[in-house]
Structure 1
Amino acid sequence: MKTFLKYIISTALLAMLFVPTTVDAQRMPKKHKNAPDYTIVIVTNPLVENFDASEYPHLRFYYTPEEMPHFLDVLHQVRPIPPKEGMYGMVVDKEGTIAYTRAFSDGISRNQDNRDETNFHMLNVAAPKGRGDSRKLEDFLKDYVIRAKAAKKDNKKSYTPGQVPSYKGWDKGQIEGLELPDFDLVAQDGTETTIKEILGGNPGYIVFTQISEDGKTVSPLLWHIEHILYNYFPPRR
């Protein structure tokens, strides 16, 4: 009987020690289950050498050359990339087809608190209505980046280098279903590269933004992406 009581007491003590550890583990920040390994950030202005990218370890920064790539230039004329006081997001599948696009307002990140998972954040934002699939960003990341499904390609949409597309919907910035054209970029260390080389045949999440010449003024959505997608506190129960 004494042996049994000792066993019960020992088990209870172990349980008491384990519960706080489990609770602490649940509160620890972690990568969101539908976040890509990293997010590609395209800065639509020339290289800013003074920018400290170390604050965003899961974001990889690339800049447009002195001369804006033609595709981005003509796209910007029909849909601002990025919008004023915001950011432009894009999900690309494993074959390079654009599956999701959306402009995000800096207002999403006014409350910089990744400890409350009930806050409205980037992953909740749905694709614009009238463009087919209108699910949330999180659903697109889950299907096309995490599960590597193929997005529906629209054969009526095409881009020829040096020419402005004329397909129906281009004037409204509708590029979902279009294969993302290749274009030149410059890495944070000054290395020249292209978007195709960066993707390497893999799906990805791309955001377009701007950074001031002194590297100090950035969209607060950079913090938002780093902490909502990669430093995320899981739901509390």
Structure 2
Amino acid sequence: MTKFFSICVIALSLVLSVNAQKLSKMPPRVVLIGIGAKNPTFNEAQYPHLKIYYTPELTPVKNATETQNAAASLSGAVKFTYDGQPEFLKNIWNDKNIDEAFMLFDKNGLCVAQGYDVDKQGDIASRLCTDKKPLADHIKDCVKKGKTGKAEKKEMKLKKSDFMVGYSFPEFNLSDIDGNSTKISEVLNGEPTLVIFFNIPDNMDLNAAKESGEGKSGKAFLKSMVSGAAGAGKSGVFLALESQVYDYDAREK
């Protein structure tokens, strides 16, 4: 039984390795869109291949504390709603669970595949899209073969899990990591692009776990540990994208 289990583990590792190689050999452009303003403790420079943008005109409806935001992030059971612009992102964030959801756009800016929890199994290439096909298959079609999608004629319905497939983003503004304004049409820029959504509340200290607990009270120590754990969880998808899509080790040295 032990030998059989070992063989299964090795076989699974080989499959995951092959899938990871698929993406690194045909990497799409990867854009991450943050819901809300930039977090001042988040170091985007750690992830040189990823294009990261924010939506500072979206603000939380409830002014949660750092600990509340961190605890909500860890549990995944609580999600704080946002208000403001762009209205399209406000609506899909408030109505659907799009934290770490992904959308693949062809060179014409048309969404050809959509899915959720991009790194849920630790292997982005084999993550299933809403059509049950692995993401790697769609990326191969768009990036390597240059295929394009077919535009839907019917009105988009947000209640569908694949609501974006067959549609282009409505135009909206974004801010880059330096605070410069741009538009989503300029961000997609006429090439296959994997778009992933994320949310790091601007009052969450991502460096809390690096600080020494010496001299802190029990409450302060717990607060720093909760924030640090949440920060580590938030950075996971960025590390996975750098590693699996670009074969780059973005871990802090």
Structures share fold, TM-score greater than 0.5: yes
Structure 1 residues 215 and 205: alpha-carbon distance in aligned structure 2, compared to 1, 3 A threshold: farther
Query: 2:159 aligns to what?
Result: 171
Q: Distance in 2 between matches of 1:106 and 1:139?
A: 16
Query: 1:63 aligns to what?
Result: 54
Query: 2:132 aligns to what?
Result: 134
Greater RCO, 1 or 2 (C-alpha within 8 Å, sep 6+): 1
Query: 2:218 aligns to what?
Result: none
1:35 pairs with 2, 12, 27, which one? 27
Query: 1:113 aligns to what?
Result: none
Highest CA radius of gyration, 1 or 2? Answer: 1
Q: Is the 8 A contact 2:23 2:136 kept in 1?
A: no
Q: Is the 8 A contact 2:108 2:148 kept in 1?
A: yes
Query: 2:105 aligns to what?
Result: 92
Q: Distance in 1 between matches of 2:126 and 2:143?
A: 16
Query: 2:73 aligns to what?
Result: none
- Residue 222 of structure 1: how far off its partner (Å): 1.1
Query: 1:208 aligns to what?
Result: 197
Matched, 1:224 2:247: no
Judging by fraction of residues, say which structure has more helix.
2
Name the SS of the counterpart of 2:121 in structure 1: helix
Structure 1 residues 222 and 191: alpha-carbon distance in aligned structure 2, compared to 1, 3 A threshold: same
TM-score (norm 1): 0.66
2:186 pairs with 172, 177, 197, which one? 197
Name the SS of the counterpart of 1:47 in structure 2: coil
Name the SS of the counterpart of 1:206 in structure 2: strand
State the one-letter code of the partner of 1:195.
I
Query: 2:97 aligns to what?
Result: 80
Name the SS of the counterpart of 2:117 in structure 1: strand
- Residue 232 of structure 1: how far off its partner (Å): 6.7
Q: Distance in 1 between matches of 2:205 and 2:178?
A: 14
Q: Is the 8 A contact 2:119 2:127 kept in 1?
A: no
Q: Is the 8 A contact 1:99 1:177 kept in 2?
A: yes
Q: Is the 8 A contact 2:102 2:118 kept in 1?
A: no
The alignment covers a number of residue pairs equal to 175
Q: Distance in 1 between matches of 2:94 and 2:35?
A: 13
Matched, 1:184 2:173: yes
Q: Distance in 2 between matches of 1:88 and 1:203?
A: 17
Q: Is the 8 A contact 2:34 2:55 kept in 1?
A: yes
- After superposition, give the CA deviation of every residue in 1:143-181 in whole Å (9 maximum; x if it has no partner): 1233321112111135xxxxxxxx4xx323422111221
State the one-letter code of the partner of 2:95.
V
Structure 1 unaligned regions, length at least 5: 1-28, 110-120, 159-166
Structure 1 residues 155 and 31: alpha-carbon distance in aligned structure 2, compared to 1, 3 A threshold: closer
Q: Is the 8 A contact 2:37 2:201 kept in 1?
A: no
Query: 1:122 aligns to what?
Result: 124
- Residue 105 of structure 1: how far off its partner (Å): 6.2
Name the SS of the counterpart of 1:172 in structure 2: coil
State the one-letter code of the partner of 1:187.
D
Using the aligned pairs only, state the percent identity. 29
